[in-house]
Chains A and B, each alone.
Chain A
Amino acid sequence: MSSATDTQVPAAAPAKARRRRGLRRLSARDRVVVALLLGIPLLLDLAFVWFPALATVFLSFTKWNGVGGLHTKTCLPNVPSILNNGCLYGIQNYHQAVTIYPEFWPAVRHNLIWLAVFVLFATPLGMLFAVLIDRGIKGSRMYQSILFLPVMLSLALIGIIWEFMYSQNLGLINTVIGRNGNSNAIDWLGNPHLNLWAVLVEATWRQAGYVMVLYLAGLKAVDPTLREAAVVDGANAWQTFWRVVFPVMRPINVVIMVVTVIESLRAFDLVYITNKGINGLELLSVLVTSNIVGETQRVGFGSALGVVLLVISLVPICIFLFQTFRRESREGPS
């Protein structure tokens, strides 16, 4: 990589000058095209990302059931909710979420558990699959297909497939281990101490395959001469991977890390299919939905939960962006 920058730096100055001259040479028509091509994505970005995000932040300071309009009056204390609608509510939504709402802290905890399991177990498992398949073990194509199969299924379908596995009296797992009776059945999806882990098995089943495919693509791109050199130097398979292959794959590792974090923060489908995210399966994304979607909506309260999720998501996003920009500035303008 350093050799690449060495050759680029001297070439940078004339290249920049050429480009500036190029921009001036653009005809009016070209400028319109450029403006359109930049402007349309920018508008879409503002309309569908920034506006909803900022609107959510605003709504989180109101109390509103979705009927009628919003106004800028402050909510009155101790008045029936139906008369107290569309008003400014201060930080009450946040206050209620962390003090009274019993689902909030379990949801935060479950989101963190989900993240931890993905980072510490599901993703390394997928990487392991990729490395094993990349070594060309017998029947690697078959394994590859089998492990990739879950990725092609929608999460909703995965949830339904696993319900057949976990069902108490009729499910495959309890039938095989002989625990499907009326007194000794294991309540995989109903027991709040078990069901999060049961669902994480479902999620891992899919995530490992996903990571495997991404990582396999990266491994195929690694220059084989690097490995040969390592073997010549007397490194064993373990050392070759950790000292040579893994560092070369840094860009892929970053992508996989981002994918892992995103997948665990946006977890929703599986728990929603399983039991709508109640009774031990609370997640922040589900709480947002259950408060905002439905007959009587608590839009302000749901928005406050959405903002909490946004803030949590900002942490890995900022780390990623910081890393990316730092790398770009280190490599210098090109």
Chain B
Amino acid sequence: MSDAGMSPSRRTLLRGLAGAAGISVAGGLISACSSSGSGSGTPSSGSSTGSSGTVGGTVSFGSNYSDPGVKAAFASLCTAATAATGAQIKINTVDHNTFQQDITAYLQGTPDDLFTWFAGYRMQYFAAQGLALPIDDVWAKIGGNFNAAAKTLSTGLDGHQYMVPIYNYPWVVFYNKSVFAAKGYTVPTTWDQLIALAKKMKTDGIIPFAFADKDGWPALGTFDILNMRINGYDYHIKLMKHEIPWTDPGVTQVFQHWAELMPYMQTGANGRIWQDAAKTLEAKQAGMLYQGTNQVAQQYVTDKANLADLDFFVYPEINPSYAQDYMDAPTDGFMISKKAKNVDAAKAILEYIGTGAAEADFLKTDQWDVGLAQGLSAPTYDAIQKKSVVEIGKCKAVAQFMDRDSDPAMATAMIAIIQKFIDDPSTGNIATLQKSAEAQAKTIYTS
């Protein structure tokens, strides 16, 4: 998920009521009244000189980039796309939580030509049900701008491409440089070093790991990284698709390592929102925080904390055969809906967006995400972003996040299970929780 605002909107609640009453799929009932956001319209005559030639008409673009900063960046991206392609873009901005919750009804109702979405199984799930348009021809033109990993992320279960990525961000361990310098801490690269460092912090009166899971999703990231460090990327993805049972000893190992770490994590995580955990790090009461740059760096900017003092390291190695080869780096991008009316223009716009120049333009005001185009180093990148590019580049494979790599219903089940684990990380409880996870996975994936 990794999207900040979790407050339910009135529309969500209304939809909840409609759903509860059994009229769940009312087509475009809700999407029809989506707020018609600021159109980007600089009317451009057909004489503009775009690389991909000019196409006519208007393309509607459903956007969940509803926060003011990213909304402005998105509007400027669309303006640039209009200048390059000649197609007018009409942006329909919807609150991002509402957008995600309504996606099934939206795509089956009267969807916009283009829409914002997420890579991973979360994209493949809708593509597999014929709600998105394959864009292999777009990738034939922009393929050279991206590495193989980015193309894999944009590929559906059927081998066709469905998405053009715009940015991603890494999940890493954050710390304040000043704290590490003052106390003489060094960045840990192995599990033993991490535990030793945590122990030392605890005796120094610092919470080793700031930790929050009231929202449910942040702790899924800890499971992801421990699983990838202990069992590797392939195992992790198989588990996410339920090709490996949740009762597997490999999963037990993940929970056991986590239980070893629990004494060093901030207590009462289930009642704390991640923003408050980030504040503990800002206040230097906590030594480390494992979360995405999209959240932590953004929170530092929001709170006007010392962003220059913030630094990160990738999660330490646990199993030498997988070293530090993998991480969660959730990717966002754009897709064309199956019911799109102006397909040619929509494809032309995606061809423009799939270039380094367009990504750099989009990230002008962004201080936490990084583009995916090869060799892209936007002039506006700060230290965190520059390091993000390097560290993501070092990975042999990147996962998306549990709720993007698995069926979201399974991620919901795991949210409850991991919260129960946080309450009681005992060996007996781990066994119970694994059994419950497997039983639920069976009803969600098969049967």
Contacts and interface: CB of A to CB of B under 8 A. Distances in A.
Interface of A: 48, 52-53, 55-56, 59, 65-68, 75, 77-82, 84, 92, 96, 100-103, 156, 167-170, 182-183, 185, 187-192, 195, 269, 272-273, 275-276, 278-279, 285, 288-299, 302-303, 306
B335 to A, nearest CB: 14
Nearest to A303: B22
B409 A168 contact: no
Interface of A (DSSP majority class)? loop
Interface in B417-443: 417, 419-420, 423, 436, 439-440, 442-443
Given A78-B446, A276-B6, A295-B101, 18 more contacts: A53-B21, A81-B407, A82-B128, A84-B447, A100-B439, A100-B440, A168-B276, A169-B272, A170-B276, A182-B267, A187-B267, A187-B268, A189-B271, A190-B214, A190-B270, A191-B268, A294-B412, A296-B125
Contacts of A299: 19, 24-25
Contacts of B207: 182
B216 interface: yes
Q: Considering residues B22, B122, B125, B416, which has the most beta carbons from chain A within 10 angstroms of its beta carbon?
A: B22
Nearest to B444: A81
Interface of B: 6-8, 12-13, 15-16, 19-25, 100-101, 103-105, 108, 122, 125, 128-129, 131, 207, 214-216, 266-272, 276, 280, 285, 407-409, 412, 415-417, 419-420, 423, 436, 439-440, 442-447
Nearest to A190: B271
A294 B268 contact: no
Given A78-B446, A192-B423, A302 B407 contact: no
A67 B132 CA distance: 12
A168 B25 CA distance: 40
A303 B21 CA distance: 8
Q: Considering residues A278, A285, A291, A306, which has the most beta carbons from chain B within 10 angstroms of its beta carbon?
A: A278
B12 A293 contact: yes
Return the 9 tightest CB-CB contacts between A and B, nearest first.
Answer: A190-B271, A56-B22, A187-B268, A292-B19, A190-B270, A187-B271, A52-B21, A289-B16, A55-B22
16 contacts: A52-B22, A59-B24, A66-B24, A67-B104, A68-B129, A101-B440, A185-B267, A269-B13, A275-B215, A276-B6, A276-B8, A278-B419, A291-B409, A292-B16, A293-B101, A298-B409
Given A81-B445, A81-B447, A82-B129, A67 B108 contact: yes
Nearest to B436: A102
Interface of B (DSSP majority class)? helix
Contact of A294 (B125, B408, B442): B408
A319 to B, nearest CB: 23
A79 to B, nearest CB: 7
Contact of B268 (A55, A68, A168, A275): A168
Q: Considering residues A275, A293, A298, which has the most beta carbons from chain B within 10 angstroms of its beta carbon?
A: A293
A96 B269 CA distance: 30
Contacts of A183: 267
B269 A190 contact: yes
A66 B105 contact: yes
A275 to B, nearest CB: 6
Contacts of A285: 20
Given A187-B271, A278-B419, A292-B24, A297 B443 contact: no
A190 B268 contact: yes
Contacts of B439: 100
A96 B446 CA distance: 13
Contacts of A53: 21-22
B157 to A, nearest CB: 9
Given A102-B440, A289-B19, A296-B409, A275 B104 contact: no
A65 B104 contact: yes
A186 to B, nearest CB: 8
B277 to A, nearest CB: 10
Given A67-B131, A276-B216, A295-B122, A185 B268 contact: yes
